[in-house]
Amino acid sequence: MKDSFGRNIDYLRISVTDRCNLRCVYCMPEEGVEPISHCDILSYEEIMRLVGIYASLGIKHIRLTGGEPLVRKGIESLIADIKKVPGIETVSITTNGILIPEKFEMLKAAGIDAVNISLDTLNAEQFKKITRRDGFEKVIEAIKLCEASGIKTKVNCVAMKGVNDTELASIAGLAEDLNIAVRFIEYMPVGKNDFEKCVKKEDVLKSLASVYGPLYKLSEKYGNGPAEYYKPEGFVGIIGVISAMTCSFCENCNRVRLTAEGFLKLCLQYDKGVSLRDLMRSGATDEEIKKAIENAVAEKPKQHIFNDYFGVDDIEERPMNKIGG
């Protein structure tokens, strides 16, 4: 499936819930948010119908997100069912990792291909401040479980000034002895305008090089995202940087998103798209839904411009847990 700029769209991120068992400072307020009504969230049957339609359009890679996807009951069965859809090559999940230890065997049996685990600190007390919850030990256990089992494992760290910018080298050190990718993500002001928290790519790399020496850039592609990867001397794993604020990688964008409410979202920064849930529930045929997806993808923006946030039309104002970042 091509958009109007000739980009091949083969990657779909599906949010299965807006609920989460953490309250991370960059994602939602401490008191939480008013959850979406269960009747307004896509059922698994509706998700499977859409996955089949997307697969017929050339989508090959599915990532399940939230909120926290593992809090939704029966997520393992959904993974197993998506894996059976003709044309779907990989099914992965983005999670905070808290529930992986108790669900690990079921996830593995379901055939999960890859796991992205969020971790912004290696200090248990700082973890509690950032997430406003306990659970640091479970996240570390989750990373080691997935890595040891051979599941492709990435650790995602949002680099934030005044929060964890002095810990970046320590967090990167997880990849020194583990066959994982530790990825640093420039803080993005989605739904807010707090630009000052962003730690730029060049500062991340400088911080890591000061501890580990030269970082050798890798030419191989790892996964379906826009990260650039590096490998310090002696590391088993690799280091990645996703620089949405300081670099433009939109010319290679291959993804669209589906929110928990069934809204096809074309770009993280903008609220443009179409409600596929409303189409399904109004009786639309698969062919009509397919056409709606194709028409929407044709309107996919050329690029995000987070650094020119003001005065831009159709800006996304919902928090990340409502989007499925």
DSSP string, 271-283: --EEEHHHHHHTT
Instruction: List the beta bridge partners of residue 186.
Output: 159
DSSP state, 234? Answer: T
Q: Selecting from 3.10.129.10, 3.40.50.720, 3.40.50.970, 3.20.20.70, what CATH number does the domain 11-323 have?
A: 3.20.20.70
Whether 262 and 275 have beta carbons less than 8 Å apart is answered as yes
**What's the rounded Cα separation, in Å, for the pair 187 and 110?**
32
Q: How far is CA 130 from CA 8, 157, 204, in A?
A: 36, 12, 19
Read off the tokens for 228.
Answer: 């650039």
At position 97, the amino acid (one-letter code) is G
Give, for all 325 residues of the chain, the pLDDT tens digit.
Answer: 999 999 999 999 999 999 999 988 877 777 777 889 999 999 999 999 999 999 999 999 999 999 999 999 999 999 999 999 999 999 999 999 999 999 999 999 999 999 999 999 999 999 999 999 999 999 999 999 999 999 999 999 999 999 999 999 999 999 999 999 999 998 876 555 566 788 999 999 999 999 999 999 998 888 777 899 999 999 999 999 998 777 666 888 999 999 999 999 998 767 789 999 999 999 999 999 999 999 999 999 887 565 554 445 555 555 555 566 5
Is the preceding omega at residue 67 within 30 degrees of 0, hence cis? yes
In three-state secondary structure terms, 72 is: coil
**What's the rounded Cα separation, in Å, for the pair 80 and 102?**
18
pTM for the complete prediction? 0.91
Question: What's the pLDDT score for residue 31?
Answer: 74
Neighbours of 201 (CB within 10 A): 20
DSSP string, 167-212: SHHHHHTHHHHSS-EEEEEE---TTS--GGGBPPHHHHHHHHHHHH
- Continuous H helices in 60-135: 75-83, 100-110, 124-131
Q: Which of 217, 145, 136, 138 is nearest to 180 (CA)?
A: 145
